[in-house]
């Protein structure tokens, strides 16, 4: 590799890194509520805010528009998209369909028992958190384990196409496995909800271990339904709803 090729490669790597950081930063700001639905986002203010060059910002905003979090403005730039309740239910439904398919494929394509090591470790460590909201640190760890469990199931499906499809759905608010877990912890029936969620995990793991594809799929679909059930409850409490990432993007129906 000559010096020009090396410089080009370094430049491409640096641009990719800056774009990735910009993408994560802007997505986090959207989910945190820094921007309101319909608010215009332009490149230059974001350049100053994030301290990166214009090209990574442009690429990050284009990516977020492709994901569906932003819309292209006819006058230039982008505007923050809002989501109806129907959008939310559809996102959760699609996650359930894809994760259900992933669990079924994982059961059908399991090659060796040792492939379940990560899934078992996640499940067993989550079991150790009998009171997952007892502290901020333990709760953060529980969230990490929950996300890792779901990700491990999809990896076991051994389907890049399924992974890409799920990644697209998970960019939307409320679709991530842990999107409503924090809100769940604030509900009066929190202990029951956590127990139900962990029982779903146990059934999914057991079904994959025993190569029971239909059972694994049904359990994963039922598990995603728990998110819908929790969010329905949370929607009636604006204080708890504010704990859900992306809650500010919900277009709530007008109260008559």
pLDDT of residue 2: 45
Question: Structural domain of residue 38, as residue ranges?
Answer: 7-80
Last residue of a domain, which of 61, 80, 99? 80
Contact in structure between 54 and 96 (CB atoms under 8 Å): no
Both 98 and 63 in a single domain? no
Both 159 and 64 in a single domain? no
Compute the C-alpha angle 241/38/255, nearest 5°: 50
Q: Give the predicted TM-score (pTM) of the model.
A: 0.77
Both 239 and 177 in a single domain? yes
- In order of 51, 77, 205, the CA distances from 15 in angstroms are 13, 21, 40
Both 94 and 157 in a single domain? yes
* CATH classification at residue 212: 1.20.120.530
Q: How many domains does the chain have?
A: 2
Both 128 and 51 in a single domain? no
Residue 256 within a domain: no
Last residue of a domain, which of 80, 111, 138? 80
* CATH classification at residue 51: 1.10.10.10
Q: Which tokens go with 170?
A: 């998970």
Both 210 and 136 in a single domain? yes
- What is the helix (H) or strand (E) element at residue 211, kind and residue range? none
Percent helix, strand and coil across the chain, each to the nearest 5: 70, 5, 25
pLDDT tens for the chain, residues 1 to 256? 544 444 434 444 555 688 888 988 998 899 888 999 999 998 889 999 998 889 999 999 998 998 888 999 888 889 999 988 888 899 999 999 999 999 999 999 999 999 999 999 999 999 887 554 445 556 778 888 999 999 999 999 999 999 999 998 988 877 888 777 766 777 777 788 888 999 999 999 999 999 999 999 999 999 999 988 888 888 877 777 777 778 888 887 664 4
Give the three-class secondary structure for 250. Answer: strand
Q: Which of 109, 132, 111 is nearest to 201 (CA)?
A: 132
Strands of the chain, DSSP E: 40-41, 70-72, 78-80
């Amino acid at each position: 590799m000559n010096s020009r090729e090396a410089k080009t490669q370094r430049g491409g790597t640096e641009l990719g890194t800056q774009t990735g950081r910009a993408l994560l930063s802007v997505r986090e700001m959207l989910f945190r509520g820094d921007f309101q639905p319909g608010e215009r986002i332009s490149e230059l203010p974001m350049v100053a805010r994030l301290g990166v060059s214009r090209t990574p910002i442009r690429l990050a905003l284009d990516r977020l528009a492709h994901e569906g979090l932003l819309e292209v403005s006819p006058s230039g730039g982008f505007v923050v998209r809002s989501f109806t309740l129907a959008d939310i239910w559809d996102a959760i439904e699609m996650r359930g369909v894809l994760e259900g398919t992933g669990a079924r494929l994982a059961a059908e394509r399991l090659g060796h028992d040792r492939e379940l090591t990560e899934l078992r470790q996640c499940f067993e460590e989550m079991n150790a958190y009998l009171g997952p909201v007892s502290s901020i640190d333990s709760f953060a760890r529980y969230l990490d384990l929950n996300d890792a469990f779901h990700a491990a199931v999809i990896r076991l499906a051994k389907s890049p196409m399924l992974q890409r499809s799920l990644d697209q759905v998970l960019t939307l608010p409320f679709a991530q496995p842990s999107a409503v877990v924090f809100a769940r912890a604030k509900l009066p029936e929190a202990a029951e909800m956590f127990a139900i969620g962990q029982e779903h995990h146990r059934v999914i793991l057991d079904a994959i271990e025993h190569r029971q594809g239909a059972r694994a799929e049904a359990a994963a679909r039922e598990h995603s339904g728990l998110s819908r059930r929790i969010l329905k409850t949370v929607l009636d409490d604006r204080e708890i709803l504010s704990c859900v990432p992306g809650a500010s993007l919900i277009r709530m129906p007008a109260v008559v």
